[in-house]
Structure 1
Amino acid sequence: MVCTLALMALSSHAQFKIDVSGVGLTQLPVTVAAFKGQEALSQKMSEIVLADLQRSGQFRAINVALGVMDESTKPELSALRQAGADALATGSVTKLADGRFDVRFRLWDVVKGQDQGGQGFVVAALDLRMAAHRVADYIYEKLTGDKGVFSTRIAYVTKVGARFQLWVADADGENAQSALASPEPIISPAWSPDGNQLAYVSFESRKPVIYVHNVSTGKRKLIANFKGSNSAPAWSPDGKTLAVTLSRDGGSQLFLLSAAGGEPRRLIQSSSIDTEPAFSPDGQSIYFVSDRGGAPQIYKVPAVGGNVERITFTGTYNISPAVSADGRWLAYVSRVSGVFKLHVMSLAGGTATAITDTVADESPSFSPNSKLLVYATQQQGREALMTSTLDGRVKARLNGQGGDIREPHWGPFFKP
C-alpha cells in the first residue's frame, strides 16, 4: 500500500506534503470540523490541527460535511460513524474587544458517543498557530496516551549565499524567527533541556567557538574558546554540563564543560578522533563517533569516563548519533554505497534499519516524545527539512526557510 496525501493552503504560503507508505499501517480515523469563526482568519485553526495529527503518522483524516458547529454543539454522530471516524474535534475562535482571541475546542469519542473534554485559551493574534498546536497536543494525548509534540520548537541553520542564519521555528517549520545571522558559518545547534537556551558553534572569530544563547532575550555567552577547535556541544539531561569536542591537546577529543563555562575535563584518554557526543536520557552514558577502529563508528562511554563500548557494527561509516528520550532508539547516518541514509537502531536488540530513500540525509534529532525524527536531506534536487516516523512509513516535508538547510535539532516539551 502506498498513499500520498497533500494538505494545502494552511496559510497563504504554507504547504505540507505527507507521504504514507507501508503495509498494515494502523492510523486512527479522525474528523476535525471547521472551527466556528475561523473563516475570518488567514490561518485556519482546524487545518493546522489536522496537519499536525496527520504528520505524526498516528491519524488519518475522515472528511464529513458537518455544517457550522462549535465546542458547545452536541454533534449528531451517526454520519461520522458511517464514514468510519473514531473521533471528532470541534471548536471556535472568537476575537475579543482587546484584540486577542478566545480559542475553545472539544473532543468527542464517536464510537462510544462520549465527550472527551476540551480546553480554552486566550491568545494574541501572533499566538493563534501555537494555540492550534496545543489543541493538537490535547487530541494526540487523549487518543494515543502519549504526549503530543506539536507545540514544541525546532532549531536549524540555513546558508543563503555567504550568509548563515540560525532559526527557531514551530515543530511544523512555520513561524520561523531568526536567532542569529552571520557571514561566518554557524553549526551544531543544540537545545538545552529547559528549552530556554541554544548552544551552537560559530566561526565569527575565524575559528570554531561555542556559545550558549538565550532564546528569549537574544543574549549569549562565549563558553568555549580554547586553543584549536571548539565544537559539537551536547547538553546533559540536567542542563548543567555540556559534552564538547576540543582539539586543544591535539586531535579531536571529548571533554565535559560546565554550562556556565570554566575549565573543561577530558573524558577519554585516546589518540583517536572522538567527536559528536550525545548524552543518554538518564545522563549516565555518552554516545559518540570515533575512528578508533579505522573508520567512523558510534561508541558509548560512561559519563564519568571508563571503558568504551562499540555500538554500530553494520556499515563502514556511521556518524551523527541521536538517542531518543525514552532510551530505546539510536538514530544515525550511515554511508551506504556512497550515499548517506538515516538509520534507526533498537538499542535493546541492536537491529538497525534504513528508513529513507533519499541519499543526502544528515543530522537526525528525536522529538521529545520519541515518536518522530527531524532531519535535513535533499529531495527532488532541493534542500528539505523532513520529519519521519521511526519506521519511515510517514514522512512530511516541513515549510523551512529557503536556502541550504542544515542541522535541525528538536527542542524539549513546551513549558507553560
Structure 2
Amino acid sequence: MTIHPLLMILPAAAVPHPSRRHVIAALMASSALPALAQFRVEVSGVGLTQLPVALAPFRGEAQSPQKISSIVQADLERSGQFRAIDASGAVLDETSRPDVALWKQKNADSLVTGSIARLADGRFDVRFRLWDVVRGEDLGGQSYVISQGDLRLVAHRIADYVYEKLTGERGVFSTRIVYVTKAGTRYSLWVADADGENAQAALSSPEPIISPAWSPSGGQIAYVSFESRKPVVYVHDVASGRRRLIANFRGSNSAPAWAPNGQSLALTLSRDGNSQLYTIDANGGEARRLMQNTGIDTEPVYSADGRSIYFVSDRGGAPQIYKVASTGGRAERVTFSGNYNISPSLSPDGRWLAYISRVGGAFKLHVMDLASGVVSAITDTSADESPSFAPNSRLIVYATQQQGREALMTTTLDGKIKARLAGQSGDIREPDWGPFQKQ
C-alpha cells in the first residue's frame, strides 16, 4: 500500500483511518474493539455439495466454559463443505459405538462424538471420535489434556481433523488472522483465531497502523506505522512482542509483502519520486528497485513459488493488476475486466487471484481463475477491501460494510457460503490470514 502525498502533510489527528482501498483510491486519483469483545459468526448461503455431519453434544460440556461441539460445528459449516445434521439429545461419547442405522435415517454421512472433563489440577481432558456412518467405520480420534485457555484451540484442531479425514485436504480452523481496528483515537493490531474469537492485541498506537502481513512461518507480522508522522515499515515478533525497523527511507515506506522463503520482503517506496516496488532483506538494509517506469506501482504480493510479484499500477492510465518476475524486468498485465482493480491476493495453491474491482462506484470482491482468466464476482456488498486467502486456498477473508457497520467476512471461492466475523463496535480493517500452524 502506498500513501497519498496529502496524508503526509496532514497532522496526525486529521488523518482518517487509512485502509487499503481508501488509500489506493486516493493515490490513483492523485491523488479497537474492547479486549473482551466476542465476535459473532453468522453463516449464510447454501453450497452445491455439502457433506452431512452430525456433532453430538460432548459428554460433560454443559459444565465446560467452552461448548466444544458447537465450535466444531460452526467451523465446519463456515468452510462451506459441510451441512449440520441435528444431533441434539444424543447421549454419546468417544467410547460409544453409535447406532449406525439411526444416524443413516437422519441422513448423516458422518458423526462426531466426544467428552470433556475437568481434572483435579484444573486442566481439561478432551477426547473425540469420528465415525463414517455410511460404512459403519471408526475413522479414529484424539485426546488432549490442556488448560482452559486452550479449549477453543482444541476445538479448532478437532474440526481440522474432521475436515481432513472427510475431504482429504488440510483444515484451517486452528490458524490465525490479523487485522486492524480503530476505536476512538486508538489504533490496534489484533491476532485472533480464524473464527475471529480469542483476539489478542499485539500492538496499540495513537497513530494509524495499516497493511499487516503474516510471515510464512507465522511467527512475525510486517506492518506500516505512522508514529513517525509518515509511513514506516516494521516487523513484529508475535511471541516476544519485540519489533524491528525494516524501512524508513525518505518519503513513504509501505505495503510490505513477504517472500515465500521469509528471507526478504517486497515493499513500496517513494524515495526516488513516484511510488515504486523494491525488495529488501527481512532484517532491513538497502532496498533494491525492481523496475523503472513513470507510473505508480504498489501493493506487491508474491506468487506461492516466489518467482513472480503481482502488483497494482496505473501505468496504463487506470489501476490494474500486473505481474513481474521477482528479480525484476518487464511487467505483464493480468486484469482486463473493469477499469479499476486493486488489492491482489494469490491463493497458496497458485490457482486463484482475488482482488477488489470498482463496479459502478461500488468496490466488490472478485476471483480470477489464473489458468483460464475467467473472473467471478463474489459479493453483493459495495465496500469490500483487503482480501486474503486461507492457507488451504479454500476460503477468503476480507473486510466490508454491512448495514453501515464494519465487518470481517469469510467466503468460499464461489461466494455461496459467507460467514460474518462481526465485532460489537469499532472500525475493523485489513485482515490477513496466517499460515498453517505447526502441530
How would you bin the TM-score normalised by the shorter chain? over 0.9
Q: CA deviation at 1:160?
A: 1.4
The corresponding residue for 1:20 is: 45
The match for 1:255 is 278
What is the match of residue 4 of structure 2? Answer: none
Give the aligned partner of residue 375 of structure 1. Answer: 398
User: Secondary structure at the residue paired with 2:157?
Assistant: helix
TM-score (norm. length: structure 2): 0.90
Counterpart code for 1:198: I
2:27 paired residue number: none
d(CA) in 1 for partners of 2:218, 2:424: 21
Mean CA deviation greater in 105-114 or 156-165: 156-165
1:402 Cα shift? Answer: 2.8
Q: Are 2:240 and 1:230 equivalent residues in the alignment?
A: no
**1:193-272 superposed matches below 5 A:** 193-272=216-295
**Partner residue of 1:151 out of 174, 196, 202:** 174
Give distance in 1, aligned partners of 2:418 and 2:102.
30
Is structure 2 residue 128 aligned with structure 1 residue 105?
yes
Does the alignment pair 1:312 with 2:335?
Answer: yes
| Separation of aligned partners in 2, 1:172 and 1:404 | 18
Which one of 143, 146, 151 corresponds to residue 123 of structure 1?
146
Evaluate the alpha carbon distance shift between residue 65 and residue 166 of structure 1 in structure 2; reply closer, same or farther with a 3 A threshold.
closer
Of 54, 64, 80, the match for 1:31: 54
CA distance in 1, matches of 2:289, 2:119: 57
Aligned equivalents of 1:78 and 1:21: distance in 2? 27
2:190 is paired with a residue of what secondary structure? Answer: strand
SS in 2 for 1:333: strand
SS in 1 for 2:45: strand
Q: Does structure 2 retain, via aligned residues, the 8 Å contact 1:174–1:399?
A: no
Residue pair 2:55, 2:87 contacting (<8 A) in 1 also: no
What does 1:8-407 correspond to in 2, within 5 Å?
A: 15-21=40-46, 25-400=48-423, 402-407=425-430
8 Å contact 1:92–1:103 — kept in the other structure? yes
User: Contact 2:57/2:87 (CA < 8 Å) preserved in 1?
Assistant: no
Identity rate, percent = 68
Q: Measured at CA, do residues 14 and 198 of structure 1 come closer, stay the same or move farther in structure 2, by a change above 3 Å?
A: closer
**Higher strand proportion:** 1
TM-score (norm 1): 0.95
Distance 2:402 2:40 in 1: 15
Tell me by how many angstroms 1:65 deviates.
Answer: 4.2
CA apart distance, 1:12: 10
TM superposition shift of 1:64? 3.1
Q: Which residue of 2 aligns with 1:3?
A: none
Q: What do residues 265-294 of structure 1 show as CA deviations (whole Å, max 9, x unaligned)?
A: 001111110000000000000000000000
Q: CA deviation at 1:43?
A: 2.0
Deviation at 1:42, TM superposition (A): 2.9
Residue 216 of structure 2 aligns with an amino acid whose one-letter code is: P
- What's the offset of the Cα at 1:14? 5.1
The code of the aligned residue for 2:429 comes to R
Distance between the aligned counterparts of 2:88 and 2:117, measured in 1? 22
> Contact 2:39–2:196 (CA<8 Å) still a contact in 1?
no
Equivalent-residue separation in structure 1 for 2:398 and 2:326 (angstroms): 26
CA positional deviation for 1:67:
2.9
Structure 1 counterpart of 2:23 = none
CA distance in 1, matches of 2:385, 2:344: 10
Q: Give me the whole-angstrom Cα distance separating, in 1, the residues matched to 2:144 and 2:259.
A: 33
Question: Which consecutive unaligned segments of at least 5 residues does structure 1 have?
Answer: 1-10
Distance in 1 separating the partners of 2:404 and 2:211: 24
CA deviations 1:79-106 (Å, max 9, x no partner) are: 1101100000001111112211111110
CA contact (8 A) 1:12 1:42 kept: no
8 Å CA contact 1:91–1:104 kept in 2: the answer is yes
Determine if contact 1:158/1:401 at 8 Å carries over to the other structure: no
Distance 2:220 2:424 in 1: 21
2:341–2:358 Cα contact (<8 Å) kept: yes
Q: Which residue of 1 aligns with 2:434?
A: 411
The one-character-per-residue Cα deviations of 1:1-54 (angstroms, maximum 9, x if unpaired) are xxxxxxxxxx995532111146xx110000011111111123200000000000
- Please report how far the alpha carbon of residue 401 of structure 1 lies from its aligned counterpart in structure 2 after TM superposition: 6.2
Task: Please report how far the alpha carbon of residue 346 of structure 1 lies from its aligned counterpart in structure 2 after TM superposition.
Answer: 0.3
Give the Cα separation in 1 of the matches to 2:148 and 2:401: 34
Secondary structure at the aligned position of 1:313 is classed as: coil
1:244 and 1:254 in contact (8 A); partners too: yes
Equivalent position SS for 1:398: strand
Letter in 2 for 1:368: P
Q: Deviations over 1:92-141 (max 9, x none)?
A: 11111221111111000000000000111111100100000000000000
5+ long unaligned stretches in structure 2: 1-35
**Count of residue correspondences:** 404
The residue aligned with 1:8 is none
Structure 2 Cα separation of the partners of residues 190 and 402 of structure 1 = 23
Distance 1:230 1:162 in 2: 23
Query: Which stretch has the larger CA shift, 280-289 or 160-169?
Result: 160-169
Q: Can you list the C-alpha shifts for 1:182-209, whole angstroms capped at 9, x where unaligned?
A: 1110000000000000000000111000
